Structure 1
Amino acid sequence: MNRAERLHALSDSLRRSGSRGRSAEGLAAEFEVSVRTIKRDLAALERSGEAVWSRPGPGGGYGMITGTTLPPITLSPAQAVALLTAVSAATDAPYVDSESAGVRKILDVLDPVTKARAVMLAERVWVNHAPPAPRTVRSALEEAMTSQRVVRIEYLAKDGSKTNRDVEPVLFASANDQWHLVGWCRLRDAMRWFTVSRIERASVTTLPCSGHGVDEVGEPPTTARAVHGSGR
């Protein structure tokens, strides 16, 4: 996840910790960054107006002052579990870290009775999935797509060969139970589909995309559809 996403997730983690708080070391391990980076992030949250508290010494740590959370949200237990199931079943999906943080934020402000019923119902839903691509790879692809900048990838082909390519991200597509990055490959000078699980390394460059659009990918399968926030 990029820094903005990490700050949102860090804020949520502090809220969930309640009066117990969290140590800088524990937060660093959770977000896979250094303690120094976490402390910079905590300072950034304070500067942005977040009600962060700190407690020095042994057993100390950081937390969020209560009373700064969202108001109660009305969801049925089934709706809450539907959100949990969607996130749990899509560990390789684009922006899943942000999705998980958003779902946790919603669940944290459910009324206690609904939350307890949702937890009981969630225990009756099992999800089996393959290990997701490394977080560093997914974060780079997401950032490149969002900012529309060229992403440099190391790609492992089915025959075992590896290539380094500069790709202009156009869309994410799910097909045959796998996620793909579809983009303009500057090495091949053509639109290409890259299976995300085969991307071993990825880094966002400073180069802007040249404007290749979704229409150049071709017609989607009849069973495919875009993700719409309106629920269409």
Structure 2
Amino acid sequence: MNRTERLYALVEELRAIAPRPRTVGWLATRFEVSGRTVQRDLQALMESGVPVRCEAGRRGGWFIDPGMTLPPVNLTSEEALAVAAALAGAESSTPFSSGARGAMRKLAAALSADAASSVRDLASRIHVLPGRTSAGVLRTVELAVLERRLLRIRYADAAGCESSRLVEPGGLLCAEGGWYLLAWCRLREAGRGFRLDRIRAAEPLDERCEPRPLSMLDQGLAGRVGSPVSLSSLAGERSPSPPLP
């Protein structure tokens, strides 16, 4: 068993008995390696974001929090490459892309040696230029969408004219090669699509927003999403594009 396979097996062993712990000595015997090797592997897993923890004491040891992990997922080689391509192609201006690097490491750790090698090779050949969306703005928008929190934004239209808006985040849309915040604009009293790279500043407010149906934000888009439509097809057609603020 190579190290990649052992890392995956360690996680599976701890998940199977969670929340009970396993000692380093027990794991070393189970995987026929030294205690120092097991300790180093567990430390590497923890540093990579896997929720493994160590508890001292007579009944202590290493354990994994079952509430913080997903159950095992068996991917075919083709499925693994599809996920890897999506993660590698997530540029810095893509919503929730901050977790892509960690997700890629965990994906590689969960695969066989040959599949993991293919994933790494594919990732090394995908190159993405950085986007123009501010990292601070992107993170604020991400959290506002997750928490349904009212946002105050400073937004520039296509001509560069800026305005201040109070918006109720409804979701995110990828269309025509760009990302939009779908929201209810209180200034216009209508649904609008705000290009993320035109949001100059974003400030979360304390007010929580009631969810609005997609039909209130964009009737045309709601009709298309109701049928089996892929994101790629949404991005490849012009109508209906997000309404200009």
Letter matched to residue 86 of structure 1: A
Q: 1:170 to 1:18 in 2, by over 3 A?
A: same
Q: Which residue number in structure 2 is paired with residue 108 of structure 1?
A: 109
Decide whether aligned partners of structure 1 residues 197 and 52 sit closer, same or farther in structure 2, where only a CA change above 3 A counts: farther
> C-alpha deviations, 1:9-42, integer Å up to 9, x for none?
xxxxxxxx95887xxxxx9xxxxxxxxxxxxxx9
Deviation at 1:111, TM superposition (A): 2.7
Match of 1:218 in 2: 219
Matches within 5 A, 1:71-150: 74-91=74-91, 92-123=93-124, 125-150=125-150
- Within a 5 Å distance, the mapping from 1:115-194 to structure 2 comes to 115-123=116-124, 125-194=125-194
Q: CA deviation at 1:141?
A: 0.9
TM-score normalised by the chain length of structure 1 = 0.60
**Aligned AA for 1:120?**
D
CA distance in 2, matches of 1:132, 1:107: 29
- Counterpart CA distance in 2 for 1:171 and 1:194 is 11
Considering only aligned residues, what root-mean-square deviation do their CA atoms show, in Å?
A: 3.7
1:164 & 1:52 partners in 2: Cα distance? 49
The alignment partner of 1:146 has SS state of: helix
Q: 1:126 to 1:101 in 2, by over 3 A?
A: closer
Question: CA–CA distance in 2 between the matches of 1:71 and 1:211?
Answer: 30
- Return the offset for 1:192: 1.4
Q: Counterpart of 1:201?
A: 201
AA aligned to 1:113 is: D
- Per-residue CA deviations over 1:158-192 (Å, capped at 9, x if unaligned) read 21221121110112111111010111111222211
Give the letter aligned to residue 169 of structure 1: P
Secondary structure in 2 matching 1:219:
helix
Is the contact between residue 183 and residue 193 of structure 2 (CA under 8 Å) also seen in structure 1?
yes
Task: For residue 98 of structure 1, report the CA deviation from its aligned partner.
Answer: 3.7
Counterparts of 2:103 and 2:178, CA distance in 1: 23
* C-alpha contact (below 8 Å) 1:78/1:118 kept by paired residues: no
Q: In 1, distance between residues paired with 2:41 and 2:132?
A: 30
- Give the alignment's TM-score, normalised by structure 2: 0.58
1:205 to partner: Cα distance: 1.0
Q: Which runs of 5+ in 1 are unaligned?
A: 1-16, 22-26, 28-41, 54-64, 228-232
Rounded Cα–Cα distance in structure 2 between residues aligned with 1:153 and 1:206: 14
Contact map agreement 2:53 2:63 (CA 8 A) in 1: no
Identify the structure with the greater helix proportion.
2
Change (3 A) 1:51 1:146: same
Counterpart in the other structure of 1:51:
53
- Identical amino acids, percent of aligned pairs: 24
**Structure 2 portions without partners, runs of 5+:** 1-39, 56-60, 232-245
Letter in 2 for 1:104: R
Does the Cα contact within 8 Å between 1:73 and 1:106 map onto a contact in 2?
no
Evaluate the alpha carbon distance shift between residue 174 and residue 112 of structure 1 in structure 2; reply closer, same or farther with a 3 A threshold: same
Deviation (angstroms), 1:79: 3.0
Contact 1:73–1:110 (8 Å) recurs in 2:
no
Letter of the aligned partner of 2:178 in structure 1?
Answer: Q
Q: How many residues align?
A: 176
Deviation at 1:210, TM superposition (A): 4.1
